[in-house]
Amino acid sequence: MFDLDRAWTLHRQVSMRPEPFGAMLYHFGNRKLSFLKNQTVVTVVRTLADHPSARSACAAAGVGDAKLPTYAKALAALARTDMIRPREPEVR
């Protein structure tokens, strides 16, 4: 189960490259490659660190409640391959 209410970010070892079909993510640590073929998913992933939660990143990208389970599933797949990870609280 993916926690939409948690703060997430792109892993620091992941490079995200725009492509005509969406984006390509490459993890330099585990050498995994992921293709994002949906521009809304690309926007959500790109802006995860700018939002207090994955749910708010989805909302900002225009993802409605009816589509939220689909996006949660996509984000869960990215979390399983360590492309995205929970964001640590900021130390002040």
Mind listing the domains of the chain with CATH numbers?
Answer: 8-85 (3.90.930)
Regarding pTM above 0.75, the answer is yes
Residue 25: strand pairing partners = 16, 34
Residue 29, pLDDT score = 96
Sign of the torsion angle spanned by Cα atoms 6, 51, 8, 3? positive
**From the first residue on, what is the mean pLDDT of each consecutive set of 10 residues in the chain (92 residues)?**
95 96 97 96 97 98 97 97 89 62
